[in-house]
Structure 1
Amino acid sequence: MHALGTHLLVELRDCNPEILKDLSKVKDALVSAAKEAMATIIDVSFHEFNPFGISGMVVIAESHLSIHTWPEYGYAAVDIFTCGDIIKPEVAAHYLIAQFESKNPSIVEMKRGILSCSNEKLPHKVCDAELQMVS
């Protein structure tokens, strides 16, 4: 069964709380994870909450990486959604596990955009001719 994309739900438990509350470290880790996975970065947006916690998104041409941190619990929730065959989301996930020093990580993989039951591989972008046929 082929899908348009792969979505990793990454649970990072028992992380270093000092890293999770440092905006520059969190941002650098997500940007670097995208680069490690060979993604094309389009935009980066992060927000630091008071008294602590960070949410951020790295938009990539192939989809996105996002994070929400709870330093007080040593926890971060990460989503890595990629389309196509070039990007390897598991590379980004393992990079982030190491960067946040997670002692108890888990990764759940979901296939997104399963449009048919055929064994035909689905391109993640539709060509102009096919788009005109749909409209």
Structure 2
Amino acid sequence: MDFAEVWTVSYRLSGARPDLLNDLPTVRRALQDSAQAAGLHVLSCAHHTFTPQGVSLALILSESHLAAHTWPEAGGAYVTATSCSPASKEAVTAVADVLTRAFDAQEVTSTVVSL
């Protein structure tokens, strides 16, 4: 593998439903569905639910990782996907679509960085 093949995509969600952002099963399913939409392979999961609100969850992938941090009180979340598999515009868009639907977000923006 050439290091130039490694990439990270950051997704910023805004205007999302606080109840969905604070629900661990919803966050887990959104990331699992995102991995599937991008053609990535989940190996394991770790998470923490904060009091009074907020969820952090990371999926360990055979390609690297996918992580989410939510701020229900602000209606926002930050999701990062890092992979050593080739990135495609279609995969980046598919993940944004999954996140938009899962959290009923008004806006999802993405930034791709090749490492």
TM range, normalised to the smaller chain?
A: 0.7 to 0.9
- Is the contact made by 1:53 and 1:69 (CA closer than 8 Å) also made in structure 2? yes
- Is the contact made by 2:7 and 2:87 (CA closer than 8 Å) also made in structure 1? no
Q: Which amino acid aligns with 2:105?
A: S
Q: CA deviation at 1:82?
A: 1.5
Q: Which amino acid aligns with 2:4?
A: A
RMSD (Å), alpha carbons? 1.8
The residue number in structure 2 matching 1:133 is none
Higher mean C-alpha displacement, 81-90 vs 35-44: 81-90
Which is richer in helix? 2
Q: Secondary structure at the match of 1:3?
A: helix
| Mapped partners of 2:30, 2:57: distance in 1 | 11
Identity %: 29
Q: CA deviation at 1:43?
A: 0.9
Q: Secondary structure at the match of 1:77?
A: strand
Map residues 1-135 of structure 1 onto 2, 5 A cutoff.
3-85=4-86, 88-112=91-115
Matched residue count:
111
**What TM-score, normalized to structure 2?**
0.87
**Unaligned segments of structure 1, at least 5 residues:** 113-135
Q: Over alpha carbons, which structure has the higher Rg?
A: 1
Q: Which amino acid aligns with 1:5?
A: V
